[in-house]
């Protein structure tokens, strides 16, 4: 008998043994299931294979981590750059939405003010500013053709007086703020009705001058336009008194006033037609 024949017979014999063993295990498994008992062979195989399965799982996880760590540095940098670009884009969009929201609020407040007052006014927009230590002026986008006249009051939607029209062109005009050193407007203390002249100091404050020495004016009093001369409407809010000085030598009193709003804080304003005597 040759070696090849011997190997063939051993293979056939081994196959027959494995088949018989498989049938026996299958019958034993079925009987164990029917009787509700555990199958000792299956448990033994599971116990033997469990370490191998855990090792395989750990190997797979380690391979995944290694694969992630092995990604090219250029790819990671590219991804980070893209994320930074998206963050910048989102911030820009948020800023744009915030600006639109603020603009809508300003326009809504301006519309409500125009509808609630009987004054004849023209809505204008500030298009340029010229601020310095002593001069505070700005340009607006309406002029003579829109009914803007020299000396007219410049008002905000909060009923605040911030200045007057200084000079006018056909399609634009220049306004001067109350804080400008060349500005002077008739004013009075709202509570006591003491009259004086509000003058700019070229800084952050105004001066209410030409008050009598016994003028009833206190810190915190609201100062409004007096309407004298019938150019600036009466009752527009100018600011609040922060200091009172009595000059016994000159027999007069002066009040330092903080304006309610500054020209550099606004973008949309109204120009009231001169000659109106209505009180707000």
Q: What is the DSSP string of 200-268?
A: E-SSS-EEEEEEETT----TT-EEEE--TTSSSPBT-EEEEEEEEEEETTTTEEEEEEEESS-GGG-SE
Place of tokens 């006249």: 149
Q: Are residues 230 and 183 in the same domain?
A: yes
- Is 188 a member of any domain? yes
Q: Which of the four pLDDT bands, split at 50, 70 and 90, describes residue 136?
A: confident
Tell me what pLDDT residue 100 has: 67
Q: Are residues 249 and 142 in the same domain?
A: yes
Q: Are residues 95 and 171 in the same domain?
A: no
Q: Are residues 225 and 251 in the same domain?
A: yes
Q: Are residues 112 and 167 in the same domain?
A: no
Q: Which of the four pLDDT bands, split at 50, 70 and 90, describes residue 49?
A: very low
Q: Is 55 helix (H, G, I), strand (E, B) or coil?
A: helix
Contact criterion met (CB below 8 Å) for 256 and 245: yes
Mean pLDDT of 256-268: 88
| CATH code (residue 226) | 2.40.10.350
> What is the DSSP annotation of 74-140?
HHHHHHHHHHHHHHHHHHHHHHHHHHHHHHHHHHHHHHHHHHH--S-EEEEEEEEEEE-SS-EEEEE
Tell me what pLDDT residue 264 has: 81
Q: Are residues 191 and 210 in the same domain?
A: yes
**Domain endpoint, select from 98, 116, 134:** 116
Ramachandran class of 6: left when φ > 0, alpha when ψ lies in -120 to 50, beta otherwise: alpha
Q: Is pLDDT of 33 > 50? A: yes
- Is 14 a member of any domain? no
Mean pLDDT across the chain, nearest whole number?
77
Contact criterion met (CB below 8 Å) for 243 and 255: yes
Q: Is pLDDT of 265 > 50? A: yes
- Is 60 a member of any domain? no
Q: Is pLDDT of 117 > 80? A: no
Q: Are residues 261 and 142 in the same domain?
A: yes
Cβ atoms within 10 Å of 81's Cβ, excluding its own = 10
Residue-number span of the structural domain to which 85 is assigned: 78-116
Ramachandran class of 161: left when φ > 0, alpha when ψ lies in -120 to 50, beta otherwise: beta
> What is the DSSP annotation of 111-124?
HHHHHH--S-EEEE
Q: Is 209 exposed, middle or buried (0-12, 13-18, 19+ CB in 10 A)?
A: middle
Q: Are residues 266 and 127 in the same domain?
A: yes
Q: Is pLDDT of 61 > 60? A: no
- Is 13 a member of any domain? no
Tell me what pLDDT residue 76 has: 84
Q: How far apart are CA 275 and CA 231, in angstroms?
A: 5
- Is 98 a member of any domain? yes
Q: Which of the four pLDDT bands, split at 50, 70 and 90, describes residue 109?
A: low
Mean pLDDT of 24-49: 54
Q: Encode pLDDT of 63-101 as tens digits.
A: 554 555 555 777 888 888 888 888 888 887 777 776 666
Tell me what pLDDT residue 172 has: 95
- Is 70 a member of any domain? no
Q: Is pLDDT of 128 > 60? A: yes
Q: Which of the four pLDDT bands, split at 50, 70 and 90, describes residue 104?
A: low
**Domain count for the chain:** 2
For the chain, the residue count is 280
Angle at 47 between CA 45 and CA 51, to 5 degrees: 115
Q: Encode pLDDT of 151-173 as tens digits.
A: 999 998 878 999 999 999 999 99
Q: Encode pLDDT of 195-224 as tens digits.
A: 999 999 888 899 999 998 889 999 999 999
């Amino acid at each position: 008998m040759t070696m090849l024949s011997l190997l063939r017979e051993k293979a056939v014999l081994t196959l027959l043994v494995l088949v018989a063993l498989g049938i026996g295990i299958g019958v034993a498994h079925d009987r164990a299931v029917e009787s509700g008992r555990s199958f000792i062979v299956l448990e033994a195989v599971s116990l033997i294979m469990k370490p191998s399965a855990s090792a395989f799982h750990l190997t797979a996880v380690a391979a995944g981590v290694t694969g992630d760590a092995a990604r090219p540095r250029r790819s990671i940098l590219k991804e980070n750059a893209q994320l930074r670009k998206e963050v910048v884009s989102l911030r820009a969009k948020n800023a744009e939405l915030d600006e639109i929201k603020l603009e809508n609020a300003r326009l809504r407040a301006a519309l409500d003010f125009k509808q609630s007052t009987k004054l004849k006014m023209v809505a204008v927009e500030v298009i340029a500013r010229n601020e310095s230590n002593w001069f505070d002026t700005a340009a607006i986008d309406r002029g003579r053709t829109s009914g803007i006249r020299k000396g007219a009051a410049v008002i905000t939607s909060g009923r605040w007086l911030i200045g007057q029209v200084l000079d006018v062109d056909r399609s634009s005009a220049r306004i001067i703020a109350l804080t400008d050193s060349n500005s002077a407007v008739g004013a009075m203390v709202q509570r006591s009705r003491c009259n004086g002249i509000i003058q700019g100091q070229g800084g952050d404050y105004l001066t209410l001058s030409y008050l009598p020495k016994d003028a009833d004016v206190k810190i915190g009093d609201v100062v409004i336009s007096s309407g004298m001369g019938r150019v600036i409407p009466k009752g527009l809010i100018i600011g609040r008194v922060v200091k009172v000085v009595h000059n016994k030598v000159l027999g007069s009193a002066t009040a330092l006033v903080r304006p309610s709003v500054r020209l550099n804080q606004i973008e949309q304003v109204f120009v009231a037609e001169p000659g109106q005597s209505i009180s707000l």
